[in-house]
Amino acid sequence: MQVPQQLRYSKDHEWVSVEGTRVRVGITDFAQDALGDVVYVQVPSVGQQVAAGDSFGEVESTKSVSDVYAPVSGTVVAVNVSLADAPEMLNSDPYGSGWLCEIECTDLGELDALLDAAAYQALIDG
């Protein structure tokens, strides 16, 4: 399982890449592996307000449907529209082309509640 050092992670298996007050969000390699082949992705709408911990999307696989949770609070400012035609990008490149959305953070302090790579690795190792 890949756990890139530069990212932050939620206990719900989302990853966060921070650039100023904007964060890019996706699901982790562990999550996509557990889901199996992804066949559909529902991303939030641009302009949607999200609160940390709230469900803001869904990932449907051949095995199940799983909610995706906002790791931080803020406004969705970009979504990965490519996932509509190629949801399998979550499987093939979860930390790259398989990103879900970007959120303009309203409380950067919420980032402190996220796990670093070592803590996330310990979580998935059980």
Convert the chain into a string of H (helix), E (strand) and C (coil): CCCCCCCEECCCCEEEEEECCEEEEEECHHHHHHHCCEEEEECCCCCCEECCCCEEEEEEECCCEEEEECCCCEEEEEECHHHHCCCCHHHHCCCCCCCCEEEEECCHHHHHHCECHHHHHHHHHC
Q: 100: domain range?
A: 8-109
Domain count for the chain: 1
120 is a domain residue: no
What is the value of pTM for the model shown? 0.94
Give pLDDT tens digits for 61-93. 998 999 999 999 999 999 999 999 999 999 999
In a domain, 102, yes or no: yes
* Per-residue pLDDT reduced to its tens digit, 12-49: 999 999 999 999 999 999 999 999 999 999 999 999 99
